[in-house]
Amino acid sequence: MVLRKLPGVSASGMGLRLSQKFVFLLFLSGLVTLCFGALFFLPDSVRLKRIFLSKNESPAVTVGSENELSKKVPGDPEHQRAGLKGAEANLKLKVSRKPSVTHGARTVERSVGSRAQDEWSPARAHEPAARDERVTAAAHNQEHSSSFNYEAFKKCLLKPPMGKDQGTPSDSGTLQRREKVKEMMKFAWDNYKLYAWGKNELRPLTRNGHIGNMFGGLRGASIVDSLDTLYIMGLMEEYEEAKEWVQSNLDLNSNGEASLFEVNIRYVGGLLSAFYLTGAEIFKQKVLELGEKLLPAFNTPTGIPRGVINLGSGTSWSWGWASAGSSILAEFGTLHLEFVHLSELSGNPVFTEKVMNIRKLLDKIEKPHGLYPNFLSPVSGNWVQHHVSIGGLGDSFYEYLIKSFLMSDKTDEEAKKMYYSAMEAIEMNLVQKSPGGLTYVAEWRGGILDHKMGHLACFCGGMIGIGAEDAPAGQKQHYLDLAGQITHTCHESYSRSATKLGPEAFRFDGGAEATATRLSDRYYILRPEVVESYMYMWRLTHDPKYREWGWEAVEALEKHCRVDAGFSGIRDVYASSDSHDNMQQSFFLSETLKYLYLLFSDDDLLPLEDWVFNTEAHPLPIIRKACSTDGQTPLE
Ligand code: DMJ
């Protein structure tokens, strides 16, 4: 090769300069590679975040994609259960994985959200900040939790939790119905015990257990979810078995990815209730241990937790199906009741601080038409998408506002104010009357109404009912009427089907009146929301129709969902022959059967003057300031 001579530069001189440059460049790139390499190969790869992101930032790791989501059949239990399936493997491959469709949550929504933006390889090691916080909380809990005085707490209750006679109704017809519900619980429990003991749910057709991925490797969801139901129903042998399992087998040292929301409402809620009802120390010990493990989820720039947390490392992620790495209103808005009780039991304010921070942010942020959209960025603290719903993705946030007010012995004025202004906005923008005269709550997408109501949204009859008492002047009757009308509509969605069970979603357009128009909305997975509203409306009005409607539901469950080895959801409530989904959901034991049992009991069983139910129907006591925390000054 002939080198053309550059002016003033000899051939050998030019060669020297070129090789010098080459060596220099080589050195430079080596240096850069070394620096980055060192960072990546440090045992804690999270260090990168501390260099490139702000102090509390932890990168959004997306799990799943909307495209994958829409390929699955929503009624398919595998789809509903998909959750974090294959999470570990997929994350290692850095690919989008199956979405979380936490069927059990009111956050279930299959068609919203866009493919989330970033895909990160998550940190596998402990994040030191998370670890430190856990260690501090654990130390604090150990030091202070023994100061919670259970006997003093009991004296603070206005009435005995179990009523004067376990809520036994005086008329024999109602008693017989209640006995039937108890028998259903025993049947569901016995089969779970026989075929799925220690697993999360029973698969009644194949007679085996299901573990799933929602609980981050925790086991025994049906056991923890059932503790209080068994106790309330007086199934004491079964309750003792459940307690013994918690004592000997509930291992909280799992290392999987869990839905923060699901673990909170089922495990934290279940253990808290079991402790408050029975006083058994083991439940308090376990729930405080679990509460500590959830704390790192709040380590985001805003303190709004992400949806998924690794219970081992404390690292958290956003759901892949959630718009642009956002967090879900119904998930981060459904922690308040349990976290306040964690502080109450531990004497450690950190739990309350975390949820109060969420509350403050939501109170301050601008709301379109006074409405709360379902997706919020945990990084910027801004809404990500203007989809509003009192059903999936939004629901229990509203429920926890009014229940926080009630649980605070009506002292939490902020929760009260936020609840009633949210209700006003909902009434103004979402509440509709169908051509046939049915009142329903539509969904809102950037100002456009979607005339559908999900089964999940049917809880709001009960919620609006219990909120009526403290409504702004002159509105009490209005709210009671609205609660009654919505509960009536939800009952219609049941009575218009062949099975007398309601579909997952029903519509009010194209001539539909409370019926599902899409095949994919026709399933029923043993959900509680409709009977939940019957129970509250019964307590508030004593209108016998609510007990009749509850009994219709019992008969339909017996006819269509009872199989040889438990209860199962069905795929089509309009079909003349049943196709079962092979899943006995844990919320069937914790909620559906508990609400039915309470519906046929006297009001003094878990009186509403003393108890609020979390969104998984676990009763939590109202905190009376005079008796709070130190437990020293009980009301007499
Ligand atoms: C339950 O896990 C809870 O009620 C939750 O708030 C919503 N979904 C299920 C029951 O449908």
Q: Are 574 and 158 in contact (CB under 8 A)?
A: no
- Average pLDDT over all residues of the chain: 83
Is 306 a residue whose pLDDT tops 70? yes
User: Is ligand 1 within 6 A of the CB of residue 587?
Assistant: yes
Higher-confidence position of 3 and 182: 182
d(CA 568, CA 376): 35
User: Is ligand 1 within 6 A of the CB of residue 310?
Assistant: no
Pocket test for ligand 1, best of 456, 586, 613 (most atoms within 8 A of CB): 456
Q: Whose CA is nearest to atom 5 of ligand 1?
A: 105
- Closest-lying ligand 1 atom to the alpha carbon of residue 532: 4
Q: Whose CA is nearest to atom 8 of ligand 1?
A: 105
User: Is ligand 1 within 6 A of the CB of residue 391?
Assistant: no
The position carrying tokens 């459904």 is 334
Q: Are 339 and 352 in contact (CB under 8 A)?
A: yes
User: Is ligand 1 within 6 A of the CB of residue 528?
Assistant: yes
From 499, 530, 501, 505, select the one nearest 595 (Cα to Cα): 530
Q: Residue 482: exposed, middle, or buried by beta-carbon count in 10 A (0-12, 13-18, 19+)?
A: buried
**Which residue type occupies 408?**
S
pLDDT (tens digit per residue) in 500-556: 999 999 999 999 999 999 999 999 999 999 999 999 999 999 999 999 999 999 999
Computed from CA positions of residues 269, 271, 272, 274, in that sequence, does the dihedral angle turn out positive or negative?
A: positive
Higher-confidence position of 159 and 26: 159
Cα 160 to the chain's mean position, in Å?
Answer: 29
Pocket test for ligand 1, best of 103, 260, 265, 328 (most atoms within 8 A of CB): 265
Q: How far apart are the first and last CA of the chain?
A: 103
Rg (C-alpha) for the chain, rounded Å, is 27
Is 32 a residue whose pLDDT tops 70? no
Q: Give the CA-trace dihedral at 309, 315, 321, 322, to 10 degrees.
A: 90
Q: Other C-beta atoms within 10 Å of 17: how many?
A: 11
**Which entry of 109, 201, 504, 532 is annotated as an active-site residue?**
504
Q: Half-sphere exposure (CA, 13 Å, Cβ side) for 560?
A: 28
Q: Which long-range contacts (CB under 8 A, 24 or more apart) does 131-136 make?
A: 131/314, 133/295, 133/296, 133/299, 133/350, 134/292, 134/293, 134/295, 134/296, 134/314, 136/350
d(CA 570, CA 204): 12
**pLDDT at 89 (0 to 100):** 27
Ligand 1 centroid to residue 154 C-alpha, Å: 29
Ligand 1 centroid to residue 617 C-alpha, Å: 9
User: Is ligand 1 within 6 A of the CB of residue 106?
Assistant: yes
Ligand 1 centroid to residue 52 C-alpha, Å: 38
Structure tokens at 428: 């103004």
Structure tokens at 207: 């007679």
d(CA 174, CA 160): 22
Is 74 a residue whose pLDDT tops 50? no
Ligand 1 centroid to residue 431 C-alpha, Å: 22
pLDDT (tens digit per residue) in 555-564: 999 999 999 9
Provide the greatest CA pair distance for the chain: 114
From 632, 613, 612, 630, select the one nearest 622 (Cα to Cα): 612
Helix (H, G, I), strand (E, B) or coil at 515: strand
d(CA 247, CA 245): 5
pLDDT (tens digit per residue) in 318-360: 999 998 999 999 999 999 999 999 999 999 999 999 999 999 9
| Band of residue 67 on the pLDDT scale cut at 50, 70, 90 | very low
What does DSSP say about strands 505-507 and 452-454: parallel, antiparallel, or unpaired?
Answer: antiparallel
d(CA 210, CA 220): 10
Average pLDDT over residues 82-96: 27
User: Is ligand 1 within 6 A of the CB of residue 585?
Assistant: no
DSSP 421-489: HHHHHHHHHTEEE-TTS-EEE-EEETTEEE-EEEGGGGGHHHHHHHHGGGSSTT-HHHHHHHHHHHHHH
Q: Residue 150: exposed, middle, or buried by beta-carbon count in 10 A (0-12, 13-18, 19+)?
A: middle
pTM for the complete prediction? 0.82
**pLDDT at 20 (0 to 100):** 63
Q: Half-sphere exposure (CA, 13 Å, Cβ side) for 515?
A: 15
pLDDT (tens digit per residue) in 391-428: 999 999 999 999 999 999 999 999 999 999 999 999 99
Q: Are 343 and 349 in contact (CB under 8 A)?
A: yes
Q: Give the CA-trace dihedral at 297, 301, 307, 311, to 10 degrees.
A: -20
User: Is ligand 1 within 6 A of the CB of residue 616?
Assistant: yes
**Which residue type occupies 482?**
L
Structure tokens at 503: 């579909």
Ligand 1 centroid to residue 45 C-alpha, Å: 36
Ligand 1 centroid to residue 13 C-alpha, Å: 78
The beta-strand segments (E) located in 222-315 are 257-259, 308-310
User: Is ligand 1 within 6 A of the CB of residue 619?
Assistant: no
| Band of residue 24 on the pLDDT scale cut at 50, 70, 90 | low
- Closest-lying ligand 1 atom to the alpha carbon of residue 617: 4
Phi, psi of 173 (to 5 degrees): -60, -45
Average pLDDT over residues 78-106: 30
Higher-confidence position of 381 and 57: 381
Q: Give the CA-trace dihedral at 100, 355, 59, 65, to 10 degrees.
A: 20
Higher-confidence position of 19 and 572: 572
List Cβ neighbours of 405 (8 Å cut-off, separation of 6 or more).
Answer: 412, 413, 415, 416, 419, 470
Structure tokens at 631: 């437990």
Counting every residue written for the chain, the total comes to 636
List Cβ neighbours of 22 (8 Å cut-off, separation of 6 or more).
Answer: none
Q: Are 112 and 322 in contact (CB under 8 A)?
A: no
Ligand 1 centroid to residue 109 C-alpha, Å: 13
Structure tokens at 607: 């009186």
d(CA 95, CA 611): 45
User: Is ligand 1 within 6 A of the CB of residue 104?
Assistant: yes
**pLDDT at 145 (0 to 100):** 60
Average pLDDT over residues 620-628: 87
Q: Are 440 and 514 in contact (CB under 8 A)?
A: yes
Per the annotation, the verdict on 504 as an active-site residue is: yes
**Secondary element (H or E) of residue 71:** helix 66-71
User: Is ligand 1 within 6 A of the CB of residue 615?
Assistant: yes
